[in-house]
């Protein structure tokens, strides 16, 4: 049984995966949710994650890598504690999304897909995150901030830096 096997995941996640693979007509259909959950727990898709998922789904590691490389939201390197994802797609672009991105770059001193030396922040330019009606929008980990200005953005980053998490709206 998978749970008795050595696993790199927490017992809760391992148990969740044990169940997940039974929910689909073919086991490998569980791959994408498993990748997402693994990324949440481990922080990124490490080689160890790939090996264990392949093993659990009875597929080859290169199959996992194929799927992994398809989705840009899946990452193979660690990100900062707070992953700042700035949208520059059409609506946000029209409402100064690029301004926000440039500001973040300057303030954090890092570029696209880079991590600050203290590991606190990482920055990413992303496609539409589905908040167009309140553009420009930014997502930090799973939290949304919209109708942003440079000032508001600073406030958001201040809050995270001070360890206050999501305070500003």
Partner 1 sequence: MADVTFTVDGKKLTAPAGTLLIDACRTAGIEIPAFCYYPGLSLQAACRMCVVRIEKMPKLQTACTTPVAEGMVVQTETEEVKQSRKAVLELLLGNHPLDCPVCDAGGECELQDMTFKYGAGESKYIETKQHREEQKWSPVVYFDRPRCILCYRCVRVCGEGMDVWALGVQNRGVTSVIAPNGGDHLGCEECGMCIDICPVGALTSDTYRYKTRPWEMNHVGTVCTHCGDGCKTTLGVKRSNDGMEIVRGDNRDKSGINNDFLCIKGRYAFDFANRTDRLTTPLVRQADGKLAPVSWEEALTFAANKLNEVRSNRGGNAIGVIGSNRTTNEENYLLQKFARGVLGTNNIDHHRTADYAAFAAALKGKANREASLRDFISAPAMLLLGNDPTEQHPALAWQIRSNVRQNRARLYVANHREIKLRRQAKAAVELPQDGYASFISYLAGNDGAFTGNDANDFREALRKEESLVIAFGSEFRGRDIQALVEFGLSMPNVKFACLGDYSNSRGAADMGLLPDLLPGYVPVASEHKFAEETGIEWPKQPGLDLVQMLDAAGSGEIGALYVVGANPVARYGVDPSALKNTFLVVQDMFLTETAVLADVVFPAANAYEKAGTITNTYGDLQLVKKAADKAGVRSDFELIVRLADKMGADPKKLVPFGKGVRADFGQSRGAQSGEADRHAVWLSANHLEPKLSPFDPFAIFDEIQRLVPSYNVPRLNLLAGNDEHVKSELVQIDTTGSRRDLVLPANDGLYTSGTLGRYSDKLAEVLASKTTEIAETAAD
What is the C-alpha separation between 16 and 149, in angstroms, rounded?
40
Residue 63 makes contact with partner 1 by CB under 8 A: yes
Nearest CA among 15, 22, 62 for reference residue 37: 15
Cα–chain-centroid distance for residue 153?
19
The tokens for 111 are: 């570029």
**Binding to ligand FES, residues 10-49 (CB under 6 A):** none
Triad 163, 168, 169: Cα angle to 5°: 145
What is the C-alpha separation between 121 and 153, in angstroms, rounded?
14
From partner 1, ligand FES, none, interface partner of 92 (C-beta below 5 to 8 A by class): ligand FES
Using the rule CB under 8 A, give the single segment among 34-42, 58-66, 99-107, 152-160 that binds partner 1.
58-66
**Binding to ligand FES, residues 98-137 (CB under 6 A):** 128-132, 135, 137
From partner 1, ligand FES, none, interface partner of 148 (C-beta below 5 to 8 A by class): none
Residue 90 makes contact with ligand FES by CB under 6 A: yes
Task: Tell me which residues touch partner 1 (CB under 8 A).
Answer: 59-63, 65-66, 69-72
């Amino acid at each position: 049984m998978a749970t008795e096997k050595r696993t790199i995941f927490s017992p809760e996640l391992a148990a969740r995966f044990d169940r997940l693979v039974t929910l689909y007509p073919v086991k490998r259909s569980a791959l994408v949710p498993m990748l997402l959950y693994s990324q949440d727990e481990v922080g990124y898709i490490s080689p160890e994650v790939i090996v264990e998922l392949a093993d659990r789904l009875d597929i080859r590691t290169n199959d996992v890598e194929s799927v992994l490389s398809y989705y840009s939201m899946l990452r193979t390197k660690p990100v900062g504690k707070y992953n700042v994802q700035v949208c520059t797609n059409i609506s946000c672009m029209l409402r100064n999304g690029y301004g926000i991105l440039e500001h973040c770059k300057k303030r954090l001193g890092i570029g696209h897909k880079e991590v600050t030396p203290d590991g606190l922040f990482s920055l990413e330019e992303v496609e539409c995150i589905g908040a167009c009606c309140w553009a420009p929008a930014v997502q930090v980990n799973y939290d949304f901030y919209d109708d942003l200005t440079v000032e508001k953005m600073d406030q958001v980053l201040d809050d995270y830096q001070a360890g206050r998490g999501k305070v500003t709206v």
